[in-house]
Amino acid sequence: MEASSLSKNAFLSIYISHSFLCANLAYTDKSSDKSYFLKDKTFLPNNLKAFTNSEIVEYWLNYFKTLEKKWGWNLLEKPKVSEDGLKVNFLSFKSEGFGIAGCKVSVSKNNADYERIFESLRRFSLTIKIVGLSKDTDEELLGKFANTIGYEDVLLLDLHTRFFKVARAEKKETRAKKNLGNMHLLDYEHNDLKVHWGDVRELLKLLNAGKYKTFLSKHIPSNLMSNVWGNFLQNPVFKTDSELLRDFVRAYITIQLLSLCSDNPRIARDFAVKPGRNLLWLTGDLMEIPKFEELLISVIDGLQLRGVFDIVLDTNSLIYTFGKAFCLGEKSDEIFLTKETFLPKFTMVLAPDIDLKPDNRKTVFHGTLFNRKGESSDVFAMSSEITQINIKDSESMYLEGRFVKNAYLEKYRKGFEFHCLQDGISWEKIVLDCRIKPVTYGPNIRANNIKFNMWLSGEHYS
């Protein structure tokens, strides 16, 4: 394919994770100030290893045809048959809806079928750029990404049914070389950990563990519990209407993060309590199953977070498809993406320390939410609750407030003022987690149900 001008082009980038594929087609036209993504996410076949060479090539052909139909975008030339089998090329970019400037597929080396996928894509089309993602590429990407968006500390959670990855890029001050005198440079220190769980039988053992039931909030007979969890492990989904499955996944995330942080306490130590901007970036196939507030609870309690941080739900793995292009900016040979185009909506989380007994419920935050029309509404937060403040117009809205003497946040000791659009980053929610720390679960499912009803009751506007 011929290279296209970065001022107007389209580029297709696909990420193949531990368990699924995310396809993102980015289109930009600087002349009309028009930029957007087309997105698709689907699970990989469970029996990929059993595919013959011709079957796996046919699979990729059908996959790209499905993308064409879903997006209404012409991608493929007519396939050619050669002595080596079917060969496919992509249409060169001409206009919106027709062709692409290039196609890149990034394959996680955590995928058990990595080599099979890599080889089959090369057989399918020689015009695809195939990249293997390893620990080294993760480290480079996360450090550059943190620097590009202006955060001192970025914690990445990649949450899959049978695989968890936690990675952190933390800005450190380092002494420069001697010939530069006493200058100090800012660099990012990288830490990560990865945990694989085995087959379905191993994960089903969780149901017999007393600690798992300690975190559940929905009562369900043991035999039905095995069926719900086992069916999900065999036939995973990205979203569900089942309250039972949502509760299972929330508890599962909490337990696994608690276990990881117990074995590796450095990975999240002091995150969000130190000065500076802190970001929690979530991706993976589990993140859309719980409701947002349920997922937030599982992550906060699993990592035992307090302080101030932003959180992003990267449902289509944009960080792995276009994260590098975004960091390179106009130097990218793929496509130029601004913060406004690339970054999903942010949520700001404030989790203060509160000097109250758990049964002593008091107002711990008073604030006022303003909009562009000069209108305002009072907001307050109670202890033992999580209060969500929804931002309808981030360009003009801002929140002012203060924590009372029983609640303490180092960053906002004298007051709180926050504008919901800053430096190309837009916030859609502000969350105040005013539960008494440390948060306790149990001793049984009924007690957890009562606690969740109390925790999630915080919507205080006037």
Q: Which tokens is 310 given? A: 């932003």
pLDDT of residue 372: 77
pLDDT of residue 184: 38
The residue ranges of every structural domain in the chain are 8-133, 137-455
At residue 155 the predicted structure's pLDDT band, cuts being 50, 70 and 90, is very high
pTM beyond cutoff 0.75? yes
Best CA proximity match to 212, nearest among 191, 197, 226? 226
CA distance 179 to 125: 50
Cα 182 to the chain's mean position, in Å? 39
- Asked if the bond preceding 443 is cis, omega within 30° of 0, the reply is yes
- pLDDT > 50? residue 65: yes
Task: Report pLDDT for 276.
Answer: 86
**pLDDT at residue 269 tops 80:** yes
- The alpha-helical segments, DSSP class H, found in 353-462 are 445-455
Residue 130: how many other CB atoms lie within 10 Å: 17
Helix (H) or strand (E) holding 118: helix 114-124
What is the mean predicted confidence (pLDDT) over 355-368? 86
Residue-wise pLDDT tens digits, 317-357: 999 999 999 999 999 999 999 999 999 999 999 999 999 88
Query: Which pLDDT value is given to residue 408?
Result: 87
The span from the CA of 67 to the CA of 70, in Å, is: 5
Q: Is the pLDDT at 265 greater than 70, yes or no?
A: yes
Work out the angle between the directed axes of helices 222-234 and 243-263 (0-180°, nearest 10): 80
Residue 38 pLDDT? 98
Tens of pLDDT along 105-134?
Answer: 999 998 889 999 999 999 899 899 999 998
Contact 157, 280 (CB under 8 A): yes
Which CATH superfamily hosts domain 8-133?
ATPase, nucleotide binding domain (3.30.420.40)
What stretches of 71-115 adopt beta strand conformation (E)? 80-82, 85-87, 103-108
Q: How far is CA 343 from CA 114, 319, 346, in A?
A: 28, 9, 8
**Torsion sign, CA atoms 53, 57, 60, 62:** negative
